[in-house]
Amino acid sequence: MPSSGSQVQASDPQTIELEQKLAVQSIRVFLQSKTSYDVLPVSYRLIVLDTSLLVKKSLNILLQNNVVSAPLWDAQTSKFAGLLTSSDFINVIQYYFHNPDKFELVDKLQLNGLKDIEKAIGVQPYDTKSIHPFKPLYEACVMMIESRSRRIPLVDQDEETQREIVVSVLTQYRILKFVALNCKEIRYLKRPLRDLNIISTNNIMSCQMSTPVIDVIQLLTLAGGVSSVPIVDDQGKLINVYEAVDVLGLIKGGIYNDLSLSVGEALMRRSDDFEGVFTCTEDDKLSAILDTVRKSRVHRFFVVDTNGFLTGVLTLSDILKYILFAES
Amino acid sequence: MGNLPSHPNRPHHKQSPTMSQNVKDVSMVDINEAMNDSQANDSDQNGSSVNPSNLTQSLSKMNIDDSNELTPQLSSRKSTLIFNDDFDETPSQHKHIEHQNNYDARRNVADNEDEDEDAVNNIITDRSDGSASSLSPESSTMSSGEQGRTQNVEYANTSQEGFNKGFSENQYEGSAHQSPSIKEQQPQPTPDRRPAMVPVEITWQQGGSKVYVTGSFTGWRKMIGLVPVANKPGVFHIKLQLPAGTHRFRFIVDNELRFSDFLPTATDQMGNFVNYLEIVSPESMQMMDYESNAQQQNQQKQNASNLQSSDNSVQQPQQQHHTTAPPQVRRQPSQSKDGKLSARSQLALHIEEDPDDMGNGYTRFKGEQQSKTDYEYTQDIPAVFTDPSVMEQYYLTLDQQQNNQQNMSWLTPPQLPPQLENVILNNYNKNAEPGSENNSGALPIPNHVVLNHLATSSIKHNTLCVASIVRYKRKYATQILYAPLQ
């Protein structure tokens, strides 16, 4: 493992525990000392969508630009108007599935009509909280955890016109990667995950390859903020995952008549650069987990036992929550 | 491992001239890997890492010429404004000329600026005068356009902010500042294409006992040891000769990879925190010394009369900027060389960074008297601008001297304004091949002349897509807005 400097020698549990505690506290200090602005590259791009765009066109734009979400801009009021994420498309699918006669409406749906869809299917609308880029990163993380969202828009005001500027959007993944890249302390996080009590093991939903994709999409909304559903075989061994972002590929081009497909068939639409399913065991350490975050675009770890059976999930927000609040 | 193959046993070579082209790749290298690499080689670093030639004394032209202590800040600030282009050397040259255009335009708009404008601004206008008069006629058309105006405004902002605040801190806290000069005792250069090296002092002031610096200039492999500064515990420094462009680096302090809080920081495409420095290219100085020698003689003949007509310039060549009429520098522009663009840009560079070696045995540092008599301002337009036959003769002579492949290239104007040949959004698609690590939307640092411009793609499916690159504090945000046609 390419951790820098000398490897820490294995020592007794008390020392490991103390080291982990100090390391987490030090990472927290780091998060407090840096701002969201610091995470941004020197030069970067940001895709912004006008709220009067058609939903199906905005989907193509997201796919074309290889992004899964984009801030919305209301040209009428010159204001930031929330984020377009995969959950919006899931809502539209659900709406269409329950109202197959409304194809005309879905086809002509504009982004500013998404709120009506949310109402129609009774989904709690996300309150998109934004934060100023120069607020400490720690605050941005806390805000993300509290609003149960995976990303937070950075909004500033133009000095002259006093209008809002969407500066960028930070995700949990980018923040954790930033931590993994810049905090050397992560190598002291050597306690096994099992002891940290951060793995969700209860009520892990799963599906099988033959499950209709619409049922899986249902699961994605039901659990309120689940970003993926693991796919297991008959015995319960983990074989794949259906992610919320896979929905984008499914309804590409505004076609909603593939909803009868099974998950297995729907996965064939996935693009080639899929990073794969990341797993870990309860004996793994946060240092290794964050090392993987540093190297790969991973959004969750499925916890499996030695035989490959699914036992739990470790999401990025679980990790973030631990870093923000635990060991104090 | 990162995107670059690692060669742990590769012999350490000096900074390669093509370094700046590698920068993007380098940024993709995982810093931790790189550090391990270099640590593996630690033992043989200590002895060989400090190249004696790196320690050449930096004699800044500006420090010597100018009693004003703000001047070095100007140079460092300019570097961040101008030479932010780390992926291509050529555009970074012609950026300069656009820059000068802006000054020019700004000056025209604001004509005689207040006498009590701060010294930094004076220097700017001073320089703009120098180039304004000597730019080819097309510059005036460019600067009068909208482009010129928007950028003027912007520059006015940044210059004040930057000069007065950010860089004065840097300066006084003894962080790295660079001096755009070349070595004093420079051998008579040959017209070959070595990239010009700029002496840069890098300082670490946050303690430690063993401090090294590693960065894009060593491919993140080699570590260069810093020397403790006498009487200042915890302060280390090193003077490096670096090629122009953007350099990213970090410090290794007692085996810990760190970045300095006293230097500009940024995250690279991987999200690593790094320090960075942007260095003004004095490229033309070395490359063009040969030409300038030849030119010098040429000019001296041509300008002999001009010199005499300007009586006040002898005493105060540094404060020429307040003359209302565009003063004429005695130097001639127009070093047509390879490439249609480079002639103009090298010209601009040449004027901004006067070669220390003036030819004919004159060196700027040898005596101020000499340089004063050398730098005369005049109101007469050199014949090379007014008489087409002289101009043609001049270019033909240059062509012969150069003996280059692109004969007569100066006859054809460039097809596109140089800044349009390098659109970072078009570059992005190249970076974004599947599996690349670029998931934060990182782009190359834009050429400053494209800031605040509206770019657009052709309208497809009734959707308009416009983009604009703006500064957000010290970073560049490229916003791409998609909107339907009404």
Q: What is the mean pLDDT of chain B?
A: 56
pLDDT at B406: 59
Residues in chain A: 328
Which of B1, B273, B444 lies at the smallest CB-CB distance from A43?
B444
pLDDT higher for A177 or B187?
A177
A179 min Cα distance to partner chain B (Å) = 9
pLDDT at A84: 93
Domain B43-59+180-190+198-283 CATH (choose: 3.40.50.1820, 3.40.50.300, 3.30.230.70, 2.60.40.10): 2.60.40.10
CATH topology of A36-179 equal to that of A191-325? yes
B267 min Cα distance to partner chain A (Å) = 5
Cβ burial of A132 (10 Å; 0-12, 13-18, 19+) is: middle
Which of B135-144, B272-281, B477-486 shows the lowest per-residue confidence on average (mean pLDDT)? B135-144
Cβ burial of B223 (10 Å; 0-12, 13-18, 19+) is: buried
Ranges of H-type helices in chain A: 13-33, 36-39, 55-64, 86-98, 103-107, 114-121, 137-146, 172-182, 193-196, 213-222, 246-250, 263-266, 286-295, 316-325
Q: What is the residue-level pLDDT of chain A in tens, covering all 328 positions?
A: 444 444 445 578 899 999 999 999 999 999 999 999 999 988 899 999 999 999 989 999 998 888 899 999 999 998 999 999 998 999 898 898 888 888 888 888 999 999 898 888 887 776 678 999 999 999 999 999 998 888 999 999 988 888 899 999 999 999 999 999 888 889 999 999 999 999 988 888 899 999 999 999 888 887 666 889 999 999 989 999 999 989 988 888 667 777 888 999 888 888 777 888 999 999 999 999 999 998 888 999 999 999 999 999 999 999 999 999 987 7
Q: Please enumerate in sequence order all residues whose Cβ is within 8 A of that of A2, keeping only pairs 6 or more positions apart, or say none.
A: B1, B30, B32, B33, B36
Decide if domain A36-179 falls under CATH 3.40.20.10: no
| Cα gap A25→A326, rounded to integer Å | 9
Range of A221-225, B321-325, B460-464 with top mean pLDDT = B460-464
Q: Which sequence spans correspond to the domains of chain B?
A: 43-59+180-190+198-283, 62-179+191-196+284-418, 422-484
Range of B56-70, B445-459, B470-484 with top mean pLDDT = B470-484
Q: Locate the chain A residue with the closest alpha carbon to B461.
A: A57
Instruction: Report ipTM (2 d.p.).
Output: 0.91
What are the structure tokens assigned to A117, written together? Answer: 């869809």
In this prediction, residue B447 has a pLDDT band, given cuts at 50, 70 and 90, of confident
DSSP state of A192: B
CB distance from A224 to chain B under 8 Å?
Answer: no
Contacts 24+ apart (CB under 8 A), A167-171: A167/A37, A167/A40, A167/A46, A167/A133, A167/B472, A167/B477, A168/A36, A168/A40, A168/A44, A168/A46, A168/A133, A168/B441, A168/B477, A169/A46, A169/A69, A169/A70, A169/A71, A169/A83, A170/A36, A170/A39, A170/A140
The phi-psi region of residue A247 (left if phi > 0; otherwise alpha if psi is between -120 and 50; otherwise beta) is alpha
Q: Which sequence spans correspond to the domains of chain A?
A: 36-179, 191-325
Cβ burial of A10 (10 Å; 0-12, 13-18, 19+) is: exposed
Domain A191-325 CATH (choose: 3.40.50.620, 3.10.580.10, 3.20.20.10, 3.40.50.720): 3.10.580.10
In this prediction, residue B356 has a pLDDT band, given cuts at 50, 70 and 90, of very low
Number of Cα atoms under 13 Å in the Cβ half of residue A64: 12
Residue B313 has pLDDT above 70, yes or no: no
Q: Work out the average pLDDT over B155-171.
A: 39
Q: Which residue's structure tokens are 């940044």?
A: B158
| Phi, psi dihedrals of residue B235, rounded to the nearest 5° | -110, 130
Determine the residue type at B105. A
CB distance from B454 to chain A under 8 Å?
Answer: no
Residue B29 has pLDDT above 70, yes or no: no
DSSP state of B258: E
Inter-residue contact A139 to A36 (CB < 8 Å): no
pLDDT higher for B250 or B62?
B250
Q: Locate the chain A residue with the closest alpha carbon to B255.
A: A5
Residue A43 and residue B478: Cβ atoms within 8 Å? yes
The three-class DSSP label of residue B341 is helix
What are the structure tokens assigned to A290, written together? Answer: 């964050």
pLDDT higher for B217 or B14?
B217
Closest CA to B446 of B85, B14, B116: B85
What are the structure tokens assigned to A174, written together? Answer: 């980018």
Instruction: Name every chain B residue with its beta carbon within 8 A of the beta carbon of A159.
Output: none
Domain B422-484 CATH (choose: 2.30.29.30, 2.20.25.290, 3.90.79.10, 1.20.20.10): 2.20.25.290
Which of A115-119, B106-110, B459-463 shows the lowest per-residue confidence on average (mean pLDDT)? B106-110
Q: What is the pLDDT of residues B119-135, one digit of tens each?
A: 333 333 333 333 333 33
Inter-residue contact A201 to A311 (CB < 8 Å): yes
Which of A42, A46, A178 lies at the smallest CB-CB distance from B266?
A42
Q: What is the pLDDT of residues B330-351, one digit of tens each?
A: 443 333 334 343 444 444 444 3
Whether this prediction's pTM lies above 0.90 is answered by no
